[in-house]
Structure 1
Amino acid sequence: MANVTFKNNPVTLVGEEVKTGDKAPNFTVLANDLSEVSLEDYKGSVKLISVVPSIDTGVCDAQTRRFNEEADKLDNVKVLTISMDLPFAQKRWCGANGIENVDVLSDHRDAYFGEAFGVLIKEMRLLTRSVFVVNSNDEVVYAEYVPEATDHPDYEAALEAAKQAE
C-alpha cells in the first residue's frame, strides 16, 4: 500500500493500491443530479481521474481548477474529479466557481471508488489526494498517490500522461 500522511500524521488506506499497468477497477459514484456514474460510462476515452479529500479546501480547490483549465486542451480525455463531498455541495461549488470542463463526482454514498482504487482514508472517511490516468482500454497508465495528502499532485506529469495515452 502507498504510504500517505495527512497533516504529517500517517493514515491507513483501505483497498488495493492501483499501479501503472493494472486494469482500472470499475466503480460507481454519484453525479450532482444523484445519477450513478461508472467507469463504463467513459468507455473508449482516456480518463484523467483527479481525487481530492474535499473540494472546499484550498489545495483541492486549486487542483480542481487547474484540471478544469487544462481539460479543454486535452483531446479525447475526460477529466473527472472525485471526492467524498455530497453531490449537492459539489454542484453548488462548481456553479460558484465556473467549473464546466470537469465531471465532479461524489463517492460519499458507499466509498466504492475509494476502496476500488485504494484511496479511502480509514480514519477520516475521506479520499487521499491522488491522480490516475486510464487509457481508452481501461488500463492504468499513470498513478500518483500524493505522499502528504495536503500537498499538490504533480500536475505536469499527470497531464503529460493523459496527452500520451490512447
Structure 2
Amino acid sequence: MTKVTFHNDPVTILGNEVSVGDNAPDFTVLANDLSPVTFSDLKGTVRLISVVPSLDTGVCSVQTKRFNDEATSLGEDVSVLTISADLPFAQKRWSVAEGIEAVQTLSDHRDLSFGEAYGVIIEELRLLTRAIFVVDKDDKVTYVEYVAEATDHPDYEKAIAAVKTAAK
C-alpha cells in the first residue's frame, strides 16, 4: 500500500490501491445537486480524475483550477472530474465562486465509495488523499499518482501528458 503523510505525519490509507493496467473500478458519488453519479455514467470518454482532500484549501484549489484551465485544450472526449469528501453544497459554492466550468466536482462524502474503490481514504481524517487517475475510453487505468505528502501538488505535466496519450 502507498505510504502517505499529511503535514509530514504518517496516515493510514484505506481502500483498494489501483495500478496502471487495472480495469477502473466502479463507484458512486454525488453531483452538486445531490444526484448520484457512477463511473459508468461517464463511459466512452477518457477520464482525468483529480482527487483532493478539500477544495477549501490552497493546494486543492490550485489543483482544481489548473485542471479546469487545461480541460478546454483536452478535447470533448475527455471528462475532467475532481472528487473530494467535501459536501456537495460546499463544492457547488466553491465552483461558482472560482468560476469552475470545465471540471465536474463530485462528492464522496456520503459513502466513500470512490475512496474505497481507489484506495484514497485517509482513515484518521475521513478525507481523501491527493491522487490523480487517468482512465481510457475502454475503462483501463493508464496513469496513477498517489501523492506521497497529501499537502503537495501532483505532477500536472505528467497527468496532462497521460490524458493526451489516452485520448489518441
Specify the code of the residue in structure 2 equivalent to 1:8.
N
- CA shift for structure 1 position 64: 0.2
Is 2:112 aligned against 1:111?
A: yes
Question: Residue 149 of structure 1 aligns with which residue?
Answer: 150
CA distance in 2, matches of 1:131, 1:80: 10
Matches within 5 A, 1:14-163: 14-75=14-75, 76-163=77-164
In structure 1, the gaps of 5 or more residues are none
Secondary structure of 2:137's aligned partner: coil
CA distance in 2, matches of 1:49, 1:78: 8
Specify the code of the residue in structure 2 equivalent to 1:64.
T
Question: Residue 13 of structure 2 aligns with which residue?
Answer: 13
Partner deviation per Cα, 1:52-88 (whole Å, 9 max, x = no partner): 0000000000000000000000021100000000000
CA distance in 2, matches of 1:58, 1:15: 26
CA distance in 1, matches of 2:2, 2:11: 10
CA distance in 2, matches of 1:114, 1:3: 15
Secondary structure of 2:82's aligned partner: strand
TM-score, with structure 2 as normaliser? 0.98
TM-score, with structure 1 as normaliser? 0.99
Partner deviation per Cα, 1:22-60 (whole Å, 9 max, x = no partner): 001000000000000011111010000000000000000
Specify the code of the residue in structure 2 equivalent to 1:134.
V
Partner deviation per Cα, 1:108-156 (whole Å, 9 max, x = no partner): 0010000100000011000000000000011000000000000000000
Tell me how many residue pairs correspond in the alignment.
Answer: 166
Secondary structure of 2:106's aligned partner: strand
CA distance in 2, matches of 1:158, 1:151: 15
CA distance in 2, matches of 1:47, 1:56: 23
CA distance in 2, matches of 1:103, 1:121: 22
CA-atom RMSD in angstroms: 0.5
What percentage of residue pairs aligned between the two structures are identical?
Answer: 66
- CA shift for structure 1 position 16: 1.2
